[in-house]
Protein backbone atom coordinates (compact mmCIF):
# COMPACT_ATOMS: atom_id res chain seq x y z
CA UNK A 1 0.00 0.00 0.00
CA UNK A 2 1.57 3.22 -1.18
CA UNK A 3 1.90 5.95 1.54
CA UNK A 4 0.36 8.60 -0.72
CA UNK A 5 -2.99 6.78 -0.84
CA UNK A 6 -3.18 5.74 2.80
CA UNK A 7 -6.59 6.93 4.02
CA UNK A 8 -5.97 8.54 7.40
CA UNK A 9 -8.55 9.78 9.94
CA UNK A 10 -9.69 13.29 9.04
CA UNK A 11 -9.15 12.70 5.32
CA UNK A 12 -11.58 11.86 2.54
CA UNK A 13 -9.92 10.52 -0.58
CA UNK A 14 -11.77 10.89 -3.88
CA UNK A 15 -10.82 9.22 -7.15
CA UNK A 16 -12.38 10.55 -10.37
CA UNK A 17 -12.06 9.11 -13.87
CA UNK A 18 -13.55 9.02 -17.34
CA UNK A 19 -15.21 5.80 -18.45
CA UNK A 20 -12.66 3.51 -20.10
CA UNK A 21 -13.14 0.89 -22.79
CA UNK A 22 -14.45 -2.49 -21.73
CA UNK A 23 -11.54 -4.84 -21.04
CA UNK A 24 -11.30 -8.46 -19.84
CA UNK A 25 -8.83 -7.40 -17.14
CA UNK A 26 -11.32 -5.06 -15.48
CA UNK A 27 -14.27 -7.38 -16.03
CA UNK A 28 -12.38 -10.14 -14.19
CA UNK A 29 -12.48 -8.01 -11.02
CA UNK A 30 -16.28 -8.12 -10.81
CA UNK A 31 -18.19 -10.66 -8.73
CA UNK A 32 -21.11 -12.69 -10.09
CA UNK A 33 -23.89 -10.16 -9.28
CA UNK A 34 -21.85 -7.32 -10.77
CA UNK A 35 -21.22 -9.35 -13.92
CA UNK A 36 -24.93 -10.01 -14.33
CA UNK A 37 -25.69 -6.30 -14.15
CA UNK A 38 -22.81 -5.53 -16.49
CA UNK A 39 -24.08 -8.07 -19.03
CA UNK A 40 -27.60 -6.61 -18.90
CA UNK A 41 -26.51 -3.34 -20.53
CA UNK A 42 -27.05 -3.34 -24.30
CA UNK A 43 -25.23 -0.09 -25.13
CA UNK A 44 -21.45 -0.11 -25.06
CA UNK A 45 -21.18 3.31 -23.32
CA UNK A 46 -23.43 2.06 -20.49
CA UNK A 47 -21.36 -1.11 -20.12
CA UNK A 48 -18.14 0.90 -20.05
CA UNK A 49 -19.48 3.34 -17.45
CA UNK A 50 -20.71 0.57 -15.13
CA UNK A 51 -17.50 -1.43 -15.48
CA UNK A 52 -15.30 1.61 -14.89
CA UNK A 53 -17.19 2.62 -11.75
CA UNK A 54 -17.29 -0.80 -10.11
CA UNK A 55 -13.76 -1.78 -11.09
CA UNK A 56 -12.44 1.54 -9.76
CA UNK A 57 -14.28 0.99 -6.47
CA UNK A 58 -12.67 -2.42 -6.08
CA UNK A 59 -9.21 -1.18 -7.00
CA UNK A 60 -9.12 1.81 -4.64
CA UNK A 61 -10.59 -0.17 -1.73
CA UNK A 62 -8.16 -3.01 -2.32
CA UNK A 63 -5.28 -0.55 -2.23
CA UNK A 64 -6.58 1.10 0.95
CA UNK A 65 -7.15 -2.29 2.63
CA UNK A 66 -4.12 -4.07 1.10
CA UNK A 67 -6.34 -6.81 -0.31
CA UNK A 68 -7.09 -8.50 -3.63
CA UNK A 69 -9.67 -6.37 -5.49
CA UNK A 70 -11.46 -9.39 -6.96
CA UNK A 71 -11.81 -10.97 -3.51
CA UNK A 72 -13.66 -8.07 -1.85
CA UNK A 73 -17.14 -9.03 -0.65
CA UNK A 74 -19.76 -6.31 -0.31
CA UNK A 75 -22.81 -6.40 1.95
CA UNK A 76 -25.77 -4.01 2.12
CA UNK A 77 -26.89 -1.95 5.12
CA UNK A 78 -30.51 -1.39 6.24
CA UNK A 79 -31.18 1.07 3.41
CA UNK A 80 -29.07 -0.72 0.83
CA UNK A 81 -25.85 1.25 1.32
CA UNK A 82 -22.95 -1.12 0.54
CA UNK A 83 -20.05 -1.80 2.88
CA UNK A 84 -17.12 -4.19 3.22
CA UNK A 85 -17.78 -6.73 5.94
CA UNK A 86 -15.48 -6.70 8.98
CA UNK A 87 -13.81 -3.41 8.08
CA UNK A 88 -14.55 0.17 9.20
CA UNK A 89 -13.71 1.73 5.82
CA UNK A 90 -16.55 3.84 4.42
CA UNK A 91 -17.01 4.53 0.72
CA UNK A 92 -19.41 5.91 -1.86
CA UNK A 93 -19.66 5.44 -5.62
CA UNK A 94 -21.24 7.57 -8.35
CA UNK A 95 -21.32 7.68 -12.14
CA UNK A 96 -22.99 9.88 -14.72
CA UNK A 97 -22.41 10.55 -18.39
CA UNK A 98 -18.76 9.58 -18.89
CA UNK A 99 -17.54 10.32 -15.35
CA UNK A 100 -17.17 8.17 -12.25
CA UNK A 101 -16.05 8.98 -8.72
CA UNK A 102 -15.27 6.92 -5.64
CA UNK A 103 -14.90 8.49 -2.17
CA UNK A 104 -13.25 6.63 0.75
CA UNK A 105 -12.75 7.48 4.45
CA UNK A 106 -11.30 5.54 7.36
CA UNK A 107 -14.68 5.24 9.07
CA UNK A 108 -16.68 8.44 8.59
CA UNK A 109 -19.95 8.01 6.66
CA UNK A 110 -19.49 9.55 3.22
CA UNK A 111 -21.58 10.22 0.14
CA UNK A 112 -20.39 11.39 -3.27
CA UNK A 113 -22.46 12.40 -6.27
CA UNK A 114 -21.51 13.51 -9.77
CA UNK A 115 -24.07 14.48 -12.41
CA UNK A 116 -23.78 15.67 -15.98
CA UNK A 117 -25.42 19.05 -16.58
CA UNK A 118 -28.28 18.30 -18.96
CA UNK A 119 -30.63 20.78 -20.59
CA UNK A 120 -34.14 19.45 -19.99
CA UNK A 121 -37.39 20.80 -21.33
CA UNK A 122 -38.74 20.71 -17.78
CA UNK A 123 -36.58 20.50 -14.68
CA UNK A 124 -37.89 18.43 -11.72
CA UNK A 125 -38.28 21.51 -9.54
CA UNK A 126 -40.40 19.79 -6.82
CA UNK A 127 -37.14 18.39 -5.38
CA UNK A 128 -36.21 21.94 -4.31
CA UNK A 129 -37.29 23.30 -0.95
CA UNK A 130 -39.28 26.55 -0.80
CA UNK A 131 -36.16 28.44 0.26
CA UNK A 132 -34.13 26.97 -2.61
CA UNK A 133 -36.90 27.62 -5.11
CA UNK A 134 -37.08 31.29 -4.12
CA UNK A 135 -33.38 31.64 -4.99
CA UNK A 136 -33.51 29.42 -8.08
CA UNK A 137 -36.37 31.39 -9.64
CA UNK A 138 -34.00 34.37 -9.93
CA UNK A 139 -31.34 32.40 -11.85
CA UNK A 140 -31.01 33.50 -15.50
CA UNK A 141 -32.36 30.96 -17.97
CA UNK A 142 -28.96 30.02 -19.50
CA UNK A 143 -27.62 29.12 -16.03
CA UNK A 144 -30.61 27.20 -14.70
CA UNK A 145 -29.55 23.67 -15.70
CA UNK A 146 -26.14 24.02 -14.05
CA UNK A 147 -27.62 25.68 -10.94
CA UNK A 148 -30.24 22.95 -10.57
CA UNK A 149 -27.58 20.24 -10.95
CA UNK A 150 -25.55 21.83 -8.16
CA UNK A 151 -28.57 21.67 -5.85
CA UNK A 152 -29.18 18.06 -6.83
CA UNK A 153 -25.64 16.70 -6.30
CA UNK A 154 -25.39 18.37 -2.89
CA UNK A 155 -28.67 16.84 -1.74
CA UNK A 156 -27.84 13.44 -3.19
CA UNK A 157 -24.41 13.42 -1.53
CA UNK A 158 -25.99 14.09 1.87
CA UNK A 159 -28.61 11.36 1.44
CA UNK A 160 -25.93 8.91 0.34
CA UNK A 161 -23.86 9.75 3.42
CA UNK A 162 -26.80 9.08 5.75
CA UNK A 163 -27.56 5.89 3.82
CA UNK A 164 -31.15 6.90 3.16
CA UNK A 165 -30.93 7.80 -0.52
CA UNK A 166 -34.16 8.85 -2.17
CA UNK A 167 -36.25 7.22 0.55
CA UNK A 168 -36.18 10.79 1.90
CA UNK A 169 -37.89 13.53 -0.11
CA UNK A 170 -35.02 15.77 -1.34
CA UNK A 171 -37.29 18.80 -0.86
CA UNK A 172 -36.91 18.33 2.89
CA UNK A 173 -33.26 19.35 2.58
CA UNK A 174 -32.14 22.91 1.92
CA UNK A 175 -28.62 23.37 0.59
CA UNK A 176 -26.75 26.48 -0.46
CA UNK A 177 -27.12 27.96 -3.93
CA UNK A 178 -24.72 27.12 -6.75
CA UNK A 179 -22.80 30.39 -6.39
CA UNK A 180 -22.18 29.79 -2.67
CA UNK A 181 -19.87 27.32 -0.89
CA UNK A 182 -21.52 23.92 -0.42
CA UNK A 183 -23.47 23.75 2.85
CA UNK A 184 -26.51 21.99 4.29
CA UNK A 185 -28.67 24.85 5.53
CA UNK A 186 -31.67 22.93 6.86
CA UNK A 187 -33.50 19.60 7.00
CA UNK A 188 -37.24 19.90 7.49
CA UNK A 189 -38.38 17.57 10.26
CA UNK A 190 -34.89 16.86 11.53
CA UNK A 191 -34.26 20.50 12.42
CA UNK A 192 -37.27 20.34 14.72
CA UNK A 193 -36.04 17.04 16.15
CA UNK A 194 -32.66 18.57 16.94
CA UNK A 195 -34.23 21.57 18.64
CA UNK A 196 -36.50 19.35 20.72
CA UNK A 197 -33.58 17.03 21.45
CA UNK A 198 -31.48 19.95 22.58
CA UNK A 199 -34.14 20.96 25.09
CA UNK A 200 -34.31 17.40 26.42
CA UNK A 201 -30.55 17.24 26.59
CA UNK A 202 -30.40 20.45 28.66
CA UNK A 203 -32.82 19.02 31.21
CA UNK A 204 -30.98 15.69 31.29
CA UNK A 205 -27.64 17.37 31.90
CA UNK A 206 -29.23 19.24 34.79
CA UNK A 207 -30.17 15.85 36.19
CA UNK A 208 -26.68 14.48 35.57
CA UNK A 209 -27.75 12.41 32.54
CA UNK A 210 -26.48 12.40 28.94
CA UNK A 211 -28.15 11.08 25.80
CA UNK A 212 -27.38 11.44 22.10
CA UNK A 213 -30.38 13.15 20.55
CA UNK A 214 -29.30 14.32 17.10
CA UNK A 215 -30.63 12.19 14.25
CA UNK A 216 -27.17 12.25 12.70
CA UNK A 217 -23.81 13.99 13.32
CA UNK A 218 -23.10 17.35 11.70
CA UNK A 219 -23.11 17.26 7.89
CA UNK A 220 -20.07 18.62 6.06
CA UNK A 221 -20.52 19.41 2.37
CA UNK A 222 -17.77 19.98 -0.16
CA UNK A 223 -17.94 20.77 -3.87
CA UNK A 224 -16.10 18.37 -6.17
CA UNK A 225 -14.58 19.43 -9.48
CA UNK A 226 -16.00 16.75 -11.78
CA UNK A 227 -14.86 18.30 -15.07
CA UNK A 228 -16.39 20.47 -17.76
CA UNK A 229 -20.13 20.00 -18.03
CA UNK A 230 -20.48 18.18 -14.70
CA UNK A 231 -21.21 19.07 -11.09
CA UNK A 232 -20.11 17.08 -8.05
CA UNK A 233 -20.30 17.10 -4.25
CA UNK A 234 -19.03 15.11 -1.27
CA UNK A 235 -20.86 14.91 2.08
CA UNK A 236 -19.46 13.60 5.37
CA UNK A 237 -21.13 13.03 8.73
CA UNK A 238 -19.04 14.29 11.63
CA UNK A 239 -15.96 16.50 11.87
CA UNK A 240 -14.47 18.48 9.00
CA UNK A 241 -12.24 16.48 6.65
CA UNK A 242 -9.48 17.29 4.19
CA UNK A 243 -10.49 16.26 0.68
CA UNK A 244 -7.64 14.51 -1.17
CA UNK A 245 -8.09 14.12 -4.94
CA UNK A 246 -6.66 11.31 -7.05
CA UNK A 247 -6.58 10.42 -10.74
CA UNK A 248 -8.76 7.34 -11.07
CA UNK A 249 -7.59 6.79 -14.62
CA UNK A 250 -4.11 6.04 -13.35
CA UNK A 251 -5.52 3.41 -10.97
CA UNK A 252 -7.54 1.75 -13.75
CA UNK A 253 -4.52 1.44 -16.02
CA UNK A 254 -2.00 0.47 -13.33
CA UNK A 255 -0.68 -3.10 -13.55
CA UNK A 256 -2.32 -5.25 -10.87
CA UNK A 257 -0.80 -7.87 -8.66
CA UNK A 258 -1.92 -11.43 -9.23
CA UNK A 259 -4.66 -12.76 -6.96
CA UNK A 260 -3.35 -14.73 -4.01
Written in H, E and C, the secondary structure of the chain is CCHHHCCCCCEEEEEEEECCCCCHHHHCCCCHHHHHHHHHCCCHHHHHHHHHHHHHHHHHHHHHHCCCHHHCCEEECCCCCEEECCCCCEEEEEEECCEEEEEEECCCCEEEEEEECCCCCCCCHHHCCHHHHHHHCCCCHHHHHHHHHHHHHHHHHHHHHHCCHHHCCHHHEEECCCCCCCCEEEECCHHHHHHHHHHHHHHHHHCCCCCCCCCCCCEEEEEECCCCCEEEEEEEECCCCEEEEEEHHHHHHCCCCCCC
> pTM for the whole thing?
0.87
Residue 160 pLDDT more than 70? yes
Q: What is the pLDDT of residues 74-127, one digit of tens each?
A: 988 777 788 887 788 999 999 999 999 999 999 899 999 999 999 988 999 999
pLDDT at residue 189 is higher than 80:
yes
State the pLDDT at residue 42: 94
Taken in order of first residue, the domains within the chain and their CATH numbers are 12-89+244-260 (3.90.470.20)
Which tens digits make up the pLDDT trace of 230-247? 999 999 999 999 999 999
Amino acid sequence: MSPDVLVRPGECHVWTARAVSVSPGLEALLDAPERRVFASFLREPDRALYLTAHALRRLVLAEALDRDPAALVFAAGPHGKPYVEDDPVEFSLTHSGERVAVAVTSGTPVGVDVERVTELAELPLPVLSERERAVFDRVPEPDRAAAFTSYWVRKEAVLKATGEGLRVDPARLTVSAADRPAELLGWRGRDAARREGGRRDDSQRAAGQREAVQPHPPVRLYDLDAGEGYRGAVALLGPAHRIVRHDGGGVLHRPRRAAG
